[in-house]
Amino acid sequence: MSPAIRTRNQLILLFAPALLFFGLTNCNKPTPEVTKSSGGGTTATTPAGTDAKAANQALVRFINATPDIKDLTFGELKAFPAIPARSVSAYQLIPSERHEFRLLSPGKADLKPLATNSESPAAGLHYSILGITNEDGTNSLKVLNDDSPRPATGKAKVRVVHAASGVEKLDAYSAADKDPFISGIAFNTATNYKEVSPATMELDLRVEGSKKNLMNIKEVRLDPDKFYTIVLFGGHGQPPTAKVIEDQLVAK
């Protein structure tokens, strides 16, 4: 990798206030490449989108942004058992059919689910199901479309998901700059993917309009030809934390 560079011009290109639409509407086509994903110290490889489409299956992972271990089922399929708090699973193949995603306490499939979301994921496409606990203690499930055209040669793509319950809108800064490069990131929203130059950066997160850091994220490394999702966790009496999810399309 080329030496890390921190420049204001790179960071200004990182994000815009536009929000990623939560839902399964997606104009992207299945990828012919496999997806290599990492987050939290583990790496997994997922079948190509075109192979999943041929099998009439979608590629889905679970981001558990709640403060406790959770199960996530899809219809009768126990797709994501015992996913730790504030963590992300690997992608799993699930049927391209309409069923309910059901958020459950571990091993409590016979009880009323904590949250549900009826969806019909498109065959061959990638999705993240975001499970959150709201400030009032209720839970909800949101869908993120993960597919995006691959970055231009030598570029990366980045988005941010705000899943820190009770935390106000946030501004994001490069530690070296006075002005935010993105403002007003609200809870339960995500930015669109943005194409950026490769860099290793240090990010400061502040409540919108504040000069005091709420959180500092060190060594955020953005390599070329990769996708990054930065998920902000926290709330419910616990300080905010962040996890960087890295995805890369790799030829079969």
Q: List, in sequence order, every residue forming a beta bridge with 126; answer none if it has no partner.
A: 59
Q: What is the pLDDT of residues 184-239, one digit of tens each?
A: 888 988 888 888 888 888 888 888 888 888 888 888 898 999 999 989 998 777 78
Give the per-residue pLDDT at 5.
32
Residues 6+ away with beta carbon under 8 Å from 62 = 72, 79, 80, 83, 88, 89, 128, 129, 131
Q: What tokens were used for 122?
A: 């498109």
Q: Which two tokens stand for residue 163?
A: 């899943």
pLDDT at 94 over 70: yes
> What would the pLDDT profile of 5-34 be if each residue is shown by its tens digit?
333 333 333 333 333 333 455 568 999 999
- Number of other residues whose CB lies within 10 A of the CB of residue 27: 6
- Higher pLDDT: 93 or 111? It is 93
Backbone phi, psi, residue 8, to 5°: -60, -40
Q: Find the largest Cα–Cα distance for the chain.
A: 54
Tokens 């060190």 belong to residue: 218
pLDDT in tens, 67-76: 999 999 999 9
DSSP secondary structure of 125-191? -EEEEEEEE-TTS-EEEEEEE---PPPPTT-EEEEEEE--TT---EEEEETT-SS-SEEEE-TTEEB
Residue 179: predicted pLDDT: 80
pLDDT of residue 24: 53
Mean pLDDT of the chain: 86
Q: What is the pLDDT of residue 175?
A: 74
The pLDDT value recorded for residue 111 is: 87
* Percent of the chain surpassing pLDDT 70: 89
Overall pTM > 0.75: yes
Q: Is the pLDDT confidence value at 2 over 60?
A: no
Q: What is the pLDDT of residue 104?
A: 97
pLDDT band of residue 40 (cuts 50, 70, 90) is low
Q: For residue 45, what pLDDT band results from cuts at 50, 70 and 90?
A: very high
37 pLDDT more than 90 = yes
According to the model, what pLDDT value does residue 181 have?
A: 73
